[in-house]
């Protein structure tokens, strides 16, 4: 480009942008414009440090927006000194996210960035990946529902393969990833030692994709949380996951709901549960598993000593399968089970009696089931508010609410694991609450279902 043409282009950009240049900005001589010419995705072909020398923070972002010819997002510009920025659903597009990436290259403050549903495409994903090769602070990134497709997956996979970023949480849900994406992501995750939480839900992985990701799981040593719900892994894909879980020593939470895994997939996971000693949360809801598949799962539960949560809601179970599940936990002296969710299953009085027996020795267990057969038309038993019952008891014994919770809270951090709270309420407390009331109390104190009872909001009741 000759000098006259360059001057004309700069003049046009001045007219199109309503953002005035900062005085004496190094971008005013057109050096940043030259740096962004050529590739649509490279943040800077030559030397970003030289091109943007002396310009940082909001000023740098505004200059990048001017060069990209996009309207700046005021929320982003105003929060570059905060650890968390949420830009979900802002319609940024590839150019908008490129301006954001430029501003974050040397940012040392933002640790969590939300960019869901911004139509950033593969081009935007490449810009993000380039930024993360330089940024040392970002730990959590959400770029779900952005039409990244295979090319975008390849850009992210390349970054992960190089272990070039410090990301430990990455959300990639709903990006139309198929088998090619599964291949490159699996290869990258086999040697990545940074990412601990990965969301790949609502994509298009089929059995082949499941096989590739299952093989990855056999060698990955870092991933602790993996969400693959709403894909199409089916039997073969789940068999590969079962095989991978047998040798995996890192994964703690696995979500395989809505994958049509069937009874054969359930059997593969059951075999894994016999030897895996790390997994604590398994979600296989909505997977066309019937009583036969439940019985296969039970074979794993009878010997497993680590699984705490099993979600099997909306499968094809009847009270027979539900009874097998509860019975398998009862027969395993080493079971750590705290929750079994079979919320759609219609049970009977025999099942309820068995459950009461199990609760006597395992008060921390919570089995979530459907209606009780023959009791649907009856008027449900009315339970007083558990908080009112607690307050009445404390008043009668001249005790304080804060002291009540502190007695259960061994660590004193105002947060109690649900299982420990339930066990304490059932065994150690003299307050007359039944399981229904305790369940209601847990729901109020753990509204986001984190597995932690948080009573910090009661702090104002702490005695002086």
DSSP string, 388-416: HHHHHHHHHTT--HHHHHHHH-SS-SSEE
Nearest-CA neighbor of 223 among 191, 243, 250?
250
Q: What confidence tier does 14 reach under pLDDT thresholds 50, 70, 90?
A: very low
More confident position, 184 or 36: 184
Structure confidence by residue, pLDDT tens digits, 20-30: 333 333 333 33
Q: What confidence tier does 388 reach under pLDDT thresholds 50, 70, 90?
A: confident
Nearest-CA neighbor of 39 among 126, 143, 142?
126
Give 118's DSSP letter. S
Q: What pLDDT is stored for residue 437 in this prediction?
A: 82
Nearest-CA neighbor of 125 among 166, 170, 80, 58?
170
Q: What pLDDT is stored for residue 42 in this prediction?
A: 55
DSSP per-residue letters across 197-222: EEE--SS---HHHHHHHHHHHHH-SS
* Angle at alpha carbon of residue 260, lines to 258 and 266, rounded to 5°: 105
State both tokens at 44. Answer: 């800077």
pLDDT surpassing 60 at residue 432: yes
At the fourth CATH level, which superfamily is domain 80-369?
Ribonuclease Inhibitor (3.80.10.10)
Nearest-CA neighbor of 223 among 249, 202, 204?
249
Which top CATH class is 386-461? mainly alpha
pLDDT surpassing 60 at residue 378: no
* Angle at alpha carbon of residue 166, lines to 162 and 170, rounded to 5°: 90
- Classified as helix, coil or strand, 384 is coil
Question: How, if at all, do strands 84-86 and 452-454 pair?
Answer: unpaired
Q: What confidence tier does 53 reach under pLDDT thresholds 50, 70, 90?
A: low
- Classified as helix, coil or strand, 113 is strand
- Residue 107 C-alpha from the chain's centroid: 25
Query: Torsions phi, psi of 391, nearest 5?
Result: -65, -40
* Angle at alpha carbon of residue 396, lines to 356 and 446, rounded to 5°: 50
Nearest-CA neighbor of 301 among 270, 260, 347?
270
How far from 184 is each of 70, 141, 151, 187, 423, CA to CA, in Å? 32, 19, 10, 5, 45
Q: Please state the domain extents for the chain.
A: 80-369, 386-461
Q: What pLDDT is stored for residue 410 in this prediction?
A: 77
Give the span between the Cα atoms of 431 and 394, in whole angstroms: 9
State both tokens at 417. Answer: 């694991």
Q: What pLDDT is stored for residue 37 in this prediction?
A: 39
Q: What confidence tier does 48 reach under pLDDT thresholds 50, 70, 90?
A: very low
Q: Which residues contact 198 (CB under 8 A, 6 or more apart)?
A: 170, 171, 172, 189, 223, 225, 226, 227
More confident position, 416 or 171: 171
More confident position, 6 or 350: 350
* Angle at alpha carbon of residue 29, lines to 23 and 34, rounded to 5°: 135
How far from 282 is each of 118, 241, 254, 270, 355, CA to CA, in Å? 31, 12, 5, 11, 21
pLDDT surpassing 60 at residue 301: yes
pLDDT surpassing 80 at residue 7: no
Structure confidence by residue, pLDDT tens digits, 304-342: 999 999 999 999 999 999 999 999 999 999 999 999 999
Give 306's DSSP letter. S
Least confident of 31-35, 201-205, 266-270: 31-35
pLDDT surpassing 70 at residue 377: no
Per the listing, tokens 């960035």 go with 113
Q: What confidence tier does 424 reach under pLDDT thresholds 50, 70, 90?
A: confident
Q: What confidence tier does 215 reach under pLDDT thresholds 50, 70, 90?
A: very high
More confident position, 388 or 318: 318
Per the listing, tokens 């890192």 go with 250
User: How many Cα atoms occupy the beta-carbon half-sphere of 77 within 13 Å?
Assistant: 14
Structure confidence by residue, pLDDT tens digits, 162-195: 999 999 999 999 999 999 999 999 999 999 999 9
SS3 content of the chain, % helix, strand, coil (to 5): 45, 10, 45
Helix boundaries (H) for 79-139: 93-104, 121-132
Give the span between the Cα atoms of 261 and 235, in whole angstroms: 5
Least confident of 121-125, 257-261, 311-315, 442-446: 442-446
Give the span between the Cα atoms of 203 and 226, in whole angstroms: 13
pLDDT surpassing 80 at residue 249: yes
Per-residue pLDDT averaged across 17-43, rounded? 37
- Residue 366: enclosing H or E segment and its boundaries? strand 366-369
Q: Which residues contact 101 (CB under 8 A, 6 or more apart)?
A: 43, 127, 128, 130, 131
Per-residue pLDDT averaged across 341-354, rounded? 96
Q: Which residues contact 19 (CB under 8 A, 6 or more apart)?
A: 62, 63, 65, 66, 72
Nearest-CA neighbor of 109 among 90, 136, 89?
136
Nearest-CA neighbor of 324 among 349, 303, 298, 292?
298
DSSP per-residue letters across 47-80: -HHHHTTT--HHHHHHHHHHHHT----HHHHHTT
Nearest-CA neighbor of 268 among 247, 294, 297?
297
- Residue 379 C-alpha from the chain's centroid: 39
Q: What pLDDT is stored for residue 408 in this prediction?
A: 82
């Amino acid at each position: 480009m000759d000098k006259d043409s360059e001057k004309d282009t700069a003049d046009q950009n001045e007219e199109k942008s309503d953002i005035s240049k900062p005085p004496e900005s190094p971008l005013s001589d057109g050096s940043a414009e030259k740096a962004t010419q050529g590739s649509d995705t490279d943040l800077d072909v030559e030397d970003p440090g030289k091109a943007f020398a002396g310009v940082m923070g909001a000023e740098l972002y505004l200059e990048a927006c001017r060069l990209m010819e996009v309207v700046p997002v005021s929320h982003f510009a105003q929060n570059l000194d905060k650890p968390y920025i949420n830009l979900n659903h802002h319609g940024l597009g590839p150019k908008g996210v490129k301006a954001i990436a430029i501003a974050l290259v040397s940012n040392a403050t933002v640790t969590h960035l939300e960019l869901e549903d911004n139509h950033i495409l593969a081009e935007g994903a490449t810009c993000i990946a380039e930024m993360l090769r330089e940024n040392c602070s970002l730990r959590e990134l959400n770029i779900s529902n952005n039409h990244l497709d295979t090319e975008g997956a390849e850009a992210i996979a390349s970054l992960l393969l190089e272990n070039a970023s410090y990301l430990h949480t990455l959300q990639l849900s709903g990006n139309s990833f198929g088998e090619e994406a599964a291949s490159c992501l699996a290869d990258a995750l086999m040697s990545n030692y940074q990412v601990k939480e990965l969301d790949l839900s609502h994509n298009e992985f089929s059995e082949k994709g499941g096989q590739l990701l299952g093989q990855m799981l056999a060698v990955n040593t870092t991933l602790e949380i993996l969400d693959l719900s709403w894909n199409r892994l089916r039997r073969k894909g789940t068999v590969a996951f079962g095989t991978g879980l047998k040798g995996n020593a890192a994964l703690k939470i696995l979500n395989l709901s809505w994958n049509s895994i069937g009874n054969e997939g359930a059997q593969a996971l059951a075999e894994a549960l016999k030897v895996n000693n790390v997994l604590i949360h398994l979600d296989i809801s909505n997977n066309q598993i019937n009583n036969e598949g439940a019985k296969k799962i039970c074979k794993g539960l009878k010997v497993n000593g680590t699984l705490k949560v099993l979600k099997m809601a909306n499968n094809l179970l009847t009270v027979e399968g539900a009874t097998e599940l509860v019975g398998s936990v009862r027969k395993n002296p080493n079971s750590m089970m705290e929750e079994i969710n079979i919320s759609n299953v219609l049970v009977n009085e025999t099942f309820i009696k068995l459950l009461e027996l199990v609760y006597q020795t395992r008060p921390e267990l919570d089995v979530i089931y459907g209606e009780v057969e023959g009791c649907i038309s009856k008027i449900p038993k009315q339970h007083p508010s558990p908080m009112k019952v607690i307050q009445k008891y404390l008043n009668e014994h001249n005790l304080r609410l804060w002291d009540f919770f502190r007695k259960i809270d061994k660590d004193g951090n105002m947060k109690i694991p649900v299982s420990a709270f339930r066990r304490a309420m059932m065994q150690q407390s003299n307050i007359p609450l039944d399981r229904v009331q305790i369940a209601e109390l847990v729901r109020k104190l753990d509204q986001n279902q984190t597995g932690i009872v948080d009573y910090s909001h009661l702090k104002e009741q702490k005695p002086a």
